[in-house]
Amino acid sequence: MSTEIDIDARNVRKVFGGNVVALDNINLQVERGSFFSLLGPSGCGKSTLLRLLSGLDEPTAGDISIRGQAVKDTPGHKRATNLVFQRLALFPQMTIAENVAFGPKAHKRGREDIRRIVDEKLELVGLAALANRHPHEISGGQQQRVAIARALANEPAVLLLDEPLSSLDQKLRVQMQRALKRIQKDSETTFIYVTHDQHEAFTMSDSIAVMNNGSIEQVGSPREVYNKPASRFVASFVGDTNVIENNELPRGTGMSNEQGAVAVKAEVIQIGGSLPAGLENRFAGTVTDVSFGGSRVSYRVGIDGGATIAVERPAISDFHAGVGENVEIGWPSDAVVELSR
């Protein structure tokens, strides 16, 4: 059975002002009914790509198809997409139900059809009991869900979300991440979500595209991206990962590769006064920094050869070391990822 594709971008390029390359040779396919995240630092091009998909801007080169239909000459309001911005722009004078009904009314849907859509979408986001309230009478997280219900009321093939949780406090963000994942699965709508927050992307996504400097560095499941980074950038951006160059290791080590760099996650590294002799990749070092992070303690350990290695241990661990103490660190060979670029 072939996989159905909702978004197909081929060789997409976007140049601003004649020489500022925002996107370069983007090739991307998004499966129907999936939660897909564009992850990367500010300025990497993820929001620009979202604008091209929505029709708010047009590519300089390349082609974009939505559900098999080329949309090069299709304006945004006629595309099978809807966009949720960071700023929600709910209509303050309208009730929650009236906000959700706005799109179907604009598309001249029948009265009974509109009532069905509003009831269905408010039930989907868990706000049916608040239908007659106004935006200022509900919380920030509830306003986020109203914005999503309003976008889904137009029944788009693809819902585009541009960092909609960025203004919320951490606890509310976590709650909304769970809610968004549930809403996406229950609605069976394809979500494309822009974020610079890797935890957010890992929590919600079926697939992730990691972007850097206008290009896509890697596409894969959260587990694949986290455990098997495809490049130095992905390894350094995702998780607390050590990217270790050949010339930063003591001479004679057997863990280096022809490309000259490897990646090792901080949480897989053992640390102690001395480690078992059978552990591969054992190094003597000196603690250069200690940081307490609640459930975890982060160490920085300088080793012979010049590398400074990040190590993470549970705060409840029996081992503790201070700056200046001599320690041993090590990790098994299967924890090493060779980096090809």
pLDDT digits (tens, 9 = 90+) for 107-140: 899 999 999 999 999 999 999 999 999 999 998 8
Q: What is the dihedral of CA 8, 10, 14, 20, to 10 degrees?
A: 130
Digit-coded pLDDT (tens) for 21-60: 999 999 999 999 999 999 999 999 999 999 999 999 999 9
DSSP 176-206: HHHHHHHHHHHHT-EEEEEES-HHHHHHH-S
Residues 6+ apart with CB under 8 A from 20: none
Q: With residue 90 as reference, give the H or E element that holds it.
A: none
CA distances from 40 to 46, 51, 158, 193, 311 (A): 7, 16, 21, 11, 24
Spatial CA neighbour of 27 closest among 230, 216, 220, 229: 216
Which pLDDT belongs to residue 2?
Answer: 61
Q: Which residue has the tokens 């090809």?
A: 340
Three-state DSSP class for residue 81: strand
Spatial CA neighbour of 306 closest among 264, 257, 251, 256: 251
Digit-coded pLDDT (tens) for 250-281: 654 555 555 578 899 999 999 999 888 888 88
Among the residue ranges 2-6, 79-83, 98-102, the one predicted with the least confidence is: 2-6
Digit-coded pLDDT (tens) for 149-167: 999 998 899 999 998 888 7
Three-state DSSP class for residue 106: helix
Residue type, 215: S
Q: With residue 71 as reference, give the H or E element that holds it.
A: none
Compute the mean pLDDT over every residue in the chain, rounded to the nearest whole number.
90
pTM: 0.87
